[in-house]
Structures are given as structure tokens and as C-alpha cells.
Structure 1
Amino acid sequence: MPESLRITAAEFDQSLLALPWKVPLEQWPASTIVKLPKGISRHVVRFSELSGQIVAVKETTSAMAQREYEMLGSLQRLDVPCVRRVAVVAGRTTPDGEPLPAALVTAHLSFSMPYRALFTHALRPGTATRLVDALAVLLVRLHNVGFYWGDVSLSNTLFRRDAGAFAAYLVDAETGELHESATGDGLTDGQREHDLDLARTNIAGELMDLAASGRLEGGVDPVAVADGIVSAYRALWSAIRDQETFSVSESWRITERVRRLNELGFDIGEMSIETVADGTRVSIQPKVVDAGHHQRRLIRLTGLDVEENQARRLLNDLDEFRVRSGRTEDEEELAAHEWLTQAFEPVVRAIPFELRAKLEPAEVYHQVLEHRWHLEEKREASVPLAEVLSSYIQDVLRHRRDEATIMGPLTEGVTAPVPTSSPAPDWRDLV
């Protein structure tokens, strides 16, 4: 290790030393750069390869790099969707001894995209709304654990497809502050409203920028879309945090409140229930621990780790599988294993290897189910799975861009290497 170089990492990777730390990041040679789309950043950012994984390298001050590294670690421990920290590299100098900025290294989130890479020509109204809705969910999750972002924007977020919607991940935490408290009320209303106002302003500006460059489809109102994050955020925050009062005879509403929160993807840590002196009214105040209700259930049953909407979709298909196969009386874990081996895995294995970087497996399975529904609605008859897969692969999947390491708009350098594997089984072997 060069004498001046200082590396902070939870798990040290020897290949970190092979990167050209004595060269300013904007001058790194093409042989060390991977072509990936990146959002707008006030810092120099490049993508590189590290022991088979893609990492993002951002130049900043030593203090800011260390602070963001620690903040990302805290958010990971709180199970908030964010990029995974890898290392901080400080003490960089040129061969002549000139100091260079420190670097924060984070893992690239596979199948994720900056918002500008989610459309080929122009951003459509539906896509814009879904992006804003996903960002609203992320902001609620951050505020629920006491995190003040301070720079909410589409550019500081990565998006992954999630069964027709999007899941948002925080990618820049350098302005963030974590205000943890025993009561779960780490942020004041003023801090939350300030983050919300920043989000609205930044989103409107980003969409206006797209409109000015001709990349916003006609009929999309940047201000109206940006206003959408305010209404989406407030509706979700109210659903998970508001106190509710009702008569004792309506105690079923306690169960209904829990079910509604579960449907929104949130789990209840505990619930405070109070009755008035005369026993005629009941007040409840749920304590929501985190989102991911369906994710956690699917992991427990199948081991599949997917996004929340994907998990909900797959669980619905699992329930339908139990009915179709007459396994409603079986233990849920046993039925889940049968569904995994007889329904999910055959579809995933049927995708030709050269197309597997298009979408992650859970999203492929969701889209196959949607494709089957459209075909059957059109024909008003059931369609064999083999035919559904053939149609989906040839007419839909083959025409998509790869999203594992999605290309364009491009940064400098060379393409990420594509791993090799054995060929996929022929989909025509499926029954």
C-alpha cells in the first residue's frame, strides 16, 4: 500500500490497491472505467470494477467522505433502501506529491437506473408519476427512522423496477442527518416539511430541464408532477402515523388498521390502545417498524429477496398456485417450496442466457404473468405456459435494454464484462 494512502472499509478488498489512486478521477484511464449511466452530481463520479462487482467512486473531501460512509452504514443497519458502502480512500497524492481529493466507494446497485436512463426518448406521464410515488415512499421510510435528507431529488435516487412500479434507493447521503430517538419521533414536523419542499422544488426543476431538452412527453406538467410527491407523501405518512379514535363496538377497526398497513408494505412493531373512562371510545396509535412486510414473508417462505411490490405479486401467485394444485390444506412452507420449484424457477430458467441481463428474475416472472393475462384476455381462453413464454421472450423481452448494468447515456470507458454460464434450457420443454 502506498505510504500516504489511508483506506477505511468494513471488509478490505485487495483489488482496491490496483485502482489508480494517484491520478485525478476525471483522468482515470479507460481500462479502469465501466460504462454506466449516472445522475447529475456536483462531484466527479466514475464507475469501475472491483473483484467482479461494479463500484461507484466519488471524489470529495476526506471529512465528507468519512461522514457519508458512516451515514450509509447507519442507514443499512436500519434497513433503509440505499447503496452499500465499500470504502473511503484518503491520503491520495499525485506522483509529484500534490494532494488529491478523498474518494468514497459504494457498490453499484444491480438492475438500478438513474431517472434519466428510464426512458429512451421522452419521459411519459405515467412513468414520471411512478417515479415520484417511489420517491415519496422512500422519503417516508427515511423520515420514519429519523433521517433528514437535506437534498431530496430524482438525481440523488436510483430506481429499480418493481412489478409495474418502481422502488427508490438513496444514493447520496452527504447532506443527511440521523436523528434517532427512543420514541421514533426523531424528526420535527419542520424538518419533514423542509425535506418535502426541497423534493417538490428539485423534482420540478429536473422535469423542467427535461422539457427544455425535448425529453419530456407533451402533456406532462413538471409542477403538477412535483406536487404529486407532497400528496403521496402526506397520504402515506398519515396512514402509518396518525392516531385513530372509534367506539368500542368498532374494535374490528384495530385489525383493519393493521391489515391496511400491511397492504401498504409496513409492519407493526407495537400498538398503543387507550380507552376513555366511561369505556365508550378507543384510541389506537400504531408504531410502524419498517416497510417490507411482503418482502419478509416471501423470504421466510422461499428465500427470494425481491422488491416489495414484486413480493406481493409473487405471493398472490403462490396463493393461486395453492388453489390450482389443491394444496390449500398443506402447510404454507411446503406449498411455497412446490411453487418455487414448479412455477417460479422453470420460468426463470427458460429465459435464454443472453437475455438474462434485461431484467431481474422477479420482474421477469411478474411480466410473464402480465403477458399471460393479456394473451388470455385477448383470446378469451387459457394459453399454455410454453406459448406465453415464447411470445414474451420474442415480442417483449428481446426488445428491452439490459438493466443489470444498463447502458446509456454513457460515461467514459469500456463496457462491463459479461459473465459466462451454461445455456438456458429450452422453454419448449415446459409443460
Structure 2
Amino acid sequence: MKESMSITSSTYASALLTLPWGTPLEQWPDNLIAALPRGISRHIVRFVGINRGIVAVKEIGARTAHHEYKMLRELQRLGAPSVRPVAVITGRHPAEEDYGELTAALVTEHLEFSLPYREIFSRHLTVVESEKLIRALSVLLVRMHLLNFYWGDVSLSNTLFRRDAETYSAYLVDAETGEFQPNLSESRRLYDVDIARVNIIGELMDLQAGECLDKSIDVIALGGLVESSYLELWTELTAEESVDASEYWRLSERIDRLNQLGFDVGELKVTKDDSRQVVRIRPVVVDPGHYRAELLSLTGLSVEEHQAQRLLGSIQAYQAVECGPHVGLTQAAHLWMTNEYEPTIAAVPVEMLDKLEPAQIFHEIVDHRWFLAQERGGAVTLPEATASYLESVLPARRDEARLLSTNPSDEDLS
């Protein structure tokens, strides 16, 4: 048997060579096959246990296999949520000489703790849970488009889902029709979205016909949700916003919304037009603990993740509006600490310092500033917001530092 193999890691080579590539995949013995839930595929797919774990093997034409392998490698390099490619197997010749060459195979790593949509829907999801699944796919599609990747065949079948606290995270599992564009056009993006809508409606109708989805669920509305949630998220991530030089708190609010959607700000660009400034934001996806580590590196402040998220948003907004175009984030963070954070915390009376952590106080002052600006219908300076907060909000708060240090059980022991 002649074989030509392309493998991303030599650690897989010995294990892959032992597999029966001279036999059609559908005839592989049961002792090799891992009993994992499989989604619907137009190709033959099997999960196989090897000494490195579990891999998915898909029989597919050689040209398509190499293309998909290349697309998945690039998606992995860019940190996109997708399965990891392992190898393309070509030159599969069976023992019987009169039998033609077998179809090439693409090998990918099995994504642990992931489920195909049919497995999830088989548990009779509620409407709310079903919507979470669709929104997860919308987020995945947005992330692909931000990388200028055109999917071409967006569907629930080509996606795997992992549980993520109270919601789901989606991963691309099929890149046969995908391709990277120098600059993905709006028409290609919207065509991807329309494909997703049509495919999802068809897949959900099929589930209803098989009594895996409650007939009371409006599958047309669920299919439409992928479009509406995609458009909402895309606008939030890419829309330009015009802000006045004295209203950079509005920019901070925009950054907060991005953070809550699971994105960070990779770059802020500000161009001035008379007294207005147009802000362009380039979003990036972040990992857990990202904000704490970055804030500690920039300022030396050690705080909780969501506090760090908010403080970094304030720094980025300060950099965009208050600093010149040649001021880097490190220098902007130093200026922000000197001109904003430290003076604000220094304004807190000594007798109130035990009420909340300094970072939490600053966070609440930023929130308070936003509410004041909404009421006034105009800009509110940070010193104004600080004075108002210290007068009307903080005095009513309990001394949390004292509460934490005076545990009743400790008093009993004394």
C-alpha cells in the first residue's frame, strides 16, 4: 500500500500509520471506532481512538481535503474557534489490485466536550435555550467575518457547540467551502448570513419532523434570529461613532458593551472633523484573565477581572480622546493614573476608604458619571461625578472591608 501523508505534528505520525487506510472508512472495525455523537454529514465521518486521543476522520476528495486542511490551519493560527487539523491522507490503495484508489481522508482533532446540534436538541430544549444556540452561531459567524473569512456553507450541521456557563460557545467544524478574502465585502458577508438563515430553518424543520423539537417552537423566527443577532453584533463591533472632545465617557461606554460581548479593543483610531471626533474600533477576542493581566502590566493595579475590564476601557477611552495619536497605551495608562485614577481615589475621605475597594469605587464613579450625563443631557467631568458620588452614594454603603475582617465566628473565639 502506498501512502502520502501530510501531518501537522510528528507526534501523530506513528499512531496514524497503524490505521487501516487500505480499507474504506465505513468498513473500519468497531474496535477502532469511538462511540461519540456525530452530526449529519454528506461525507463518511468516523471518530477513532489513537494513543494521542481521539481524531475525526472524514473521507473527502484530495483537492478539497487539502483546501480544508489549509483553511483550518490558518484559522488555528489566527486563534479562531475551529477544530484543529492533523493530516491529509492520500494515495490510499486497497489490497485488492483491481479496486481503484480510495478517497482521500482529512483528519482533525476531536473537540473535547463538544456536541453536534442534534445531540443538544434531542434533550427537548426550551425556546430560550434554542435561542442561545442560535446566538452562539451568530457570534461565531461574526468572528469569522472579522478575520475576512467567507464560510460559504454556514449551518448548525457544520458547527460544534460547547457549554459555556449559562450559554454556549460555537466552533467551526467544516471549512470545505471557506476561503479568506483580502477584504471581505458586505455582499459576501450578508450572503453567508442568508445561507445560515435558510440552512437553520431547514435543519430545525427536520428536527420537528423527527419529533426532536417541540412543534410549538417557531422555526422561522429561530432562523431569523441568526440574522438579527448577527447584524446587531456586527454593528456594535464595527460602527463608527462621533464623539465630542469632552464626552469620551461615551466611548468608554461603547468599549464596555464590546467587553460584555466577549471582545476587547485591539485598536482605536480617532480622526478629527472640526469639533467632532470619529472613532473607529477594531475588536479582538480575548481569553479568560486577559484584563487582569493587562491592567496589572500597565498600572500595577491588581483587581478582579470585571473591574480590570472597566478600568482598561477607561484607559483606552482616555488614550483616544485626551492623548495625541503618537501616545502609546503604556504612556496613556501612566497619564490616566496620574490625572484621573489617583486624584479620584485621593478625593475619597479617609473615613470612607473601607467601604469599597479603590478599583470598585472608581468603577462606580464612572457609572455614576454616565447616569449624571444622561440626566443632564450633556457632558459631566470626572471631578463633578466624583463629588456627587462621594456626597450622595458612598456614604450609604456599608464598610465592606470591616465586614470581611470581623467574622462573627472570630469574635466568638476571642
Give the TM-score normalised by the residue count of structure 2: 0.69
Instruction: State how far apart, in whole Å, the 1-side matches of 2:158 and 2:232 are.
Output: 23
Alpha carbons 1:148, 1:177 under 8 Å: kept? yes
Q: 1:69 to 1:258 in 2, by over 3 A?
A: same
2:111 to 106, 109, 112: 109
In structure 2, relative to structure 1, the CA distance for the partners of 1:316 and 1:239 (3 Å cut) is closer
Aligned length: 304
Q: Supply the distance in 2 between the matched residues of 1:179 and 1:264 (Cα, whole angstroms).
A: 25
CA distance in 1, matches of 2:250, 2:117: 39
Q: Which residue is equivalent to 1:78?
A: 78
- Contact persistence 2:243–2:251 (CA under 8 A): no
Could you say which residue in structure 1 is the equivalent of 2:46? 46
Q: Identity across aligned pairs (percent)? A: 45
The DSSP-based 3-state class of the residue aligned with 2:137 is helix
Deviations 1:335-379 (A, max 9, x none): xxxxxxxxxxxxxxxxxxxxxxxxxxxxxxxxxxxxxxxxxxxxx
Equivalent position of 1:100 in the other structure: 102
Over 3 Å counting, the alpha-carbon distance change for 1:265 and 1:296 in structure 2 is: same
- C-alpha distance in structure 1 between counterparts of 2:180 and 2:147, whole Å: 8
State how far apart, in whole Å, the 1-side matches of 2:227 and 2:88 are.
Answer: 35
CA distance in 2: counterparts of 1:292 and 1:79, whole angstroms: 10
Partner residue in 1 for 2:169: 167
Q: CA deviation at 1:132?
A: 0.4
Q: Which protein shows a greater Rg?
A: 2
Output the amino acid matched with 2:54: I
1:204 aligns with 2:204: no
Q: Partners of 2:137 and 2:65 in 1: how far apart?
A: 24
Question: How far off is 1:315 after superposition?
Answer: 4.4
Deviates more, 1:91-100 or 1:228-237: 91-100
Partner of 1:308: none
The alpha-carbon deviation at position 300 of structure 1 amounts to 7.8
1:296 corresponds to:
290
What amino acid sits opposite 1:90 in the alignment?
A: T
How far has the Cα of 1:23 moved from its partner? 0.3
CA apart distance, 1:44: 0.3
SS in structure 2 opposite 1:20?
coil
SS in 2 for 1:249: coil
Q: Which residue of 1 aligns with 2:282?
A: 287
**Cα-to-partner distance string for 1:206-243 (whole Å, 9 max, x where unaligned):** 00000111111242111100100111001100011000
Question: Which residue in 2 is equivalent to 1:390?
Answer: none
Within a 5 Å distance, the mapping from 1:397-408 to structure 2 comes to: none
Following superposition of structure 1 onto structure 2, how do residues 56-71 of structure 1 map, counting pairs within 5 Å? 56-71=56-71
**Aligned match of 1:230:** 227
Aligned to 2:124: 122
- Distance in 2 (alpha carbons) for counterparts of 1:248 and 1:299: 30
Normalising to structure 1: TM-score of the pair?
0.66
- Between the aligned partners of 2:170 and 2:289, the Cα distance in structure 1 is 15
Is 1:195 matched with 2:192? yes
How far the C-alpha of 1:198 sits from its partner, in A, is 0.2
Distance 1:328 1:141 in 2: 35
Separation in 2, partners of 1:66, 1:146: 20
Q: In the alignment, what sits opposite 1:275? A: 272
Q: Is the 8 A contact 2:57 2:108 kept in 1?
A: yes
RMSD of aligned alpha carbons? 2.5
Could you say which residue in structure 2 is the equivalent of 1:5? Answer: 3
Q: Assess, with a 3 A threshold, how the Cα gap between structure 1 residues 121 and 329 changes in structure 2: closer, same or farther.
A: closer
The 1:256/1:168 distance shift into structure 2, 3 A limit, reads same
Is the partner of 1:7 in helix, strand or coil? strand
Q: Matched residues in 1 for 2:289 and 2:216: separation?
A: 36
Compared CA separation, residues 83 and 295, structure 1 to 2 (3 A): farther
Q: Residue in 1 aligned with 2:34?
A: 34
CA 1:317–1:36 in 2, change beyond 3 Å: closer, same or farther?
farther
Residue type at the aligned position of 1:145: L
Deviation at 1:105, TM superposition (A): 0.3
Matching residue of 1:22: 22
| Structure 2 residues not aligned, in runs of 5+ | 296-303, 310-354, 360-414
Contact 2:160/2:171 (CA < 8 Å) preserved in 1?
yes
1:123 and 1:215 in contact (8 A); partners too: no
SS in 2 for 1:94: coil
Give the aligned residue type for 2:198: T
CA distance in 2, matches of 1:294, 1:240: 20
- Give the letter for the 1:137 counterpart: V
Partner of residue 259 from structure 1, selected from 256, 261, 279: 256
Contact kept in structure 2, 1:200 and 1:226, CA below 8 Å: yes
Report the counterpart of residue 388 of structure 1 in structure 2. Answer: none
> Equivalent residue of 2:65, what SS?
helix
1:270 Cα deviation from its structure 2 partner: 1.4
In the TM superposition, what is the alpha-carbon distance from 1:21 to its structure 2 partner?
0.4
Deviates more, 1:229-238 or 1:45-54: 45-54
Deviation at 1:295, TM superposition (A): 5.5
Query: How far apart are 1:205 and its partner, in Å?
Result: 0.2
Amino acid paired to 1:287: R
